[in-house]
Amino acid sequence: MPEPFEPLESCETCSDTPSDQPVDLAATGTATLRGGPRSRPWRRRPLPRLRVRPSRAARRAAAAGPGQGSRGLWSDAWHDLRRNPVFVLSALVILFLVTIAIWPQLIADGNPYQGNLAKAQDGPAPGHPFGFDLQGRDVYTRTVYGARASITVGICATAGAALLGSVLGGLAGFFGGWWDALLSRIADVFFGIPILLGGLVFLSVVTSGSVWPVVGFIVLLGWPQISRIARGSVVTVKQQDYVLAARTLGASNGRMLLRHIAPNAVAPVIVVATIALGTYIALEATLSFLGVGLKPPTVSWGIDISSASTQIRNAPHMLLWPAGALSITVLAFIMLGDAVRDALDPKLR
């Protein structure tokens, strides 16, 4: 096998080196390869520089300057939400819906109960852009006033389910043992009840047509979902070092729950509750459409959709506007929940 290098016969820097001795390549810096007179310098290659892209939180801290870069979970979430167009758009739509639910007379000066049978099923007319329904009532006015019942049911049912589920799930996750097992089995029982079948059975015996029986039914079947989310979040948070340190220092169970665990475990509950709010509004409309939810004279999108479903060929405008308002409302709350989830999820930070 041939030698990789030939000994140098003459070199200015190594003329004293005998031809039969190995050449110090590091000293000479060059070597003559066999097969040609070309010399190749030996150089040490520099190590490649690794470019590490700083995280989003680090970039914010650098941009904020010294003393202003450290923020908590909620301030970081609000910083992201303000720059999220989905959140801004959905929040503006929800703000408008809540405003007309509280003060519908701001954009509708008519009476949702007053009708003129001579104009029954008529199309749009001056002063009545959405037309008239079966009893000659203004569809625009009823669509505006229908937001009050749907928003009220959605917000009250979500608040009740979130409060009940958070308390029960948080206690189960914190104490564990037989309390956890008991609440888990009770939640499994409610999970096994089909929500539409339960609504038909429960609300069919209720004669009141107000929003509160519907709210109570949704809370009754909605708290197990929130309870499971709250339990899992509390179980994760109570194993953190700051909770163990508080327990070691002698903090009571109530102080640990209220000061250390609850503020750090409530984020998943808020996300699920925000998305569930839109679902509850759609559930109320479904129950009212089936005739077991809200009942006349209450103005509701579900009631108007139910009465217009039989005349969809003759007067499609009666169904289009309340159904469109319901769809926009549900979509706005679901988009808001998705934006809040993206801002509070630590895996996306």
pLDDT tens digits, residue range 254-311?
888 888 888 888 888 998 999 899 999 999 999 999 888 888 888 999 999 999 988 8
The reported pLDDT for the residue numbered 13 is 47
* Higher per-residue confidence, 26 vs 175: 175
The CA-based diameter of the chain, rounded to the nearest angstrom, is 123
As a whole number, mean pLDDT of residues 129-145 equals 92
Residue 33 has pLDDT above 50, yes or no: no
Is the pLDDT at 30 greater than 60? The verdict is no
* Stretch 118-145: mean pLDDT: 90
Average pLDDT taken over every residue of the chain:
81
Give the pLDDT confidence of 177-207 residue by residue, as tens digits: 888 899 889 988 888 888 888 888 888 888 7
pTM (2 d.p.): 0.75
pLDDT at 26: 47
For residue 40, is pLDDT > 60? no
Higher per-residue pLDDT: 99 or 238: 99
Q: What is the pLDDT of residue 110?
A: 86
